[in-house]
Structure 1
Amino acid sequence: MAKSAKKKNSLISFGTAAQNRKARHDYAIKETLEAGLVLKGPEVKSLRHGRATLTEAYAAEREGELWLFNVYIPEYQGGVLSRFEPRAPRKLLVHKKEQNRLLGAISRQGMTLLPLDIHFNSRGMAKVTLGLGQGLKKADKRQAIADRDWQRDKARLLRNRNLD
């Protein structure tokens, strides 16, 4: 009996759609927060294909609200007539109290609000994980790289020692 081959579905129903790996390297993340994201239908479809880019993205205030800037979500190529701007600002949905606290930290303490990832929750809603971060100096980055190398070497030495 021959089984019919099922086409593998590459859509993301819930899970991570995009990550900003560079953010944790360039910034010391002090706090994280999950926020909703206002998107149009084709933007959600494009996100479900996992093609978004967050490397140059940041969140800031515009007209008293939090917005996400410079996120690249490519146009959906599924024959949809409504087009959208790939790098358009997108509104973030957070509670007013959290918004005021974040905006205060950004203005007073010189911190930056960065998107760490975009994911879909169990209900299928698009969410963005925001990180309140402070920029790292070059020396801090070098120290982190040295620590990571030492941990790797230490694990290798211990593994080789146990094999002998």
Structure 2
Amino acid sequence: MTIPLNRTSLAVLLVTVLTLLAAGCMGASSGQEGPVELYLTNDGNVSHEFSVSVVEGEIGQNGTVIHRPDEPTSYASPKQGLSTYIFPKKYDTVSGIELPANRTRSIGTYDLAPGEQHQMNVTGFETGDTLVVVDKSNNHVGALITANCDDLGLDFVSVTAGPVRTSASYAC
């Protein structure tokens, strides 16, 4: 059976379809809708110190200073999404990381023995902010992890210090 469509019926059908599509798009969540879940895990064989901070907005070009003993200062420019910088002690001695002072809020430092985990909610995190975790063991910075989801909002970050290197994952 065929139903003839006149211009009015076609227009009503088109408006209905467009309204349903627009409602689906408008119903999609955007922006930060709560705290960021942070999971820190030490799967290594030595204690690790995790320093957690929030930088207002993206860090930007050369926004992170990397300090090495007896070497010139260098910089990191974390991009949108998840950035992981690994500094193997065998090849690269990093003594400290400096974030933009006027836009950085320290959340805390967490010392984890081998096999320990720590879970927390990072509150006060705004859309576009960057979560930063610095992993340090035996007075050596082993990794710098940054996570930023721009206008989607950051849901969770997981950082695991292993026996060889630190790894991370995240979700927007």
Q: Return the TM-score normalized by structure 2.
A: 0.26
Q: Which has the larger radius of gyration?
A: 2
Which of the pair is proportionally richer in strand? Answer: 2
Kindly indicate whether structure 1 or structure 2 has the higher relative contact order, using CA contacts under 8 Å at least 6 residues apart.
2
- What is the TM-score normalised by the length of structure 1? 0.27
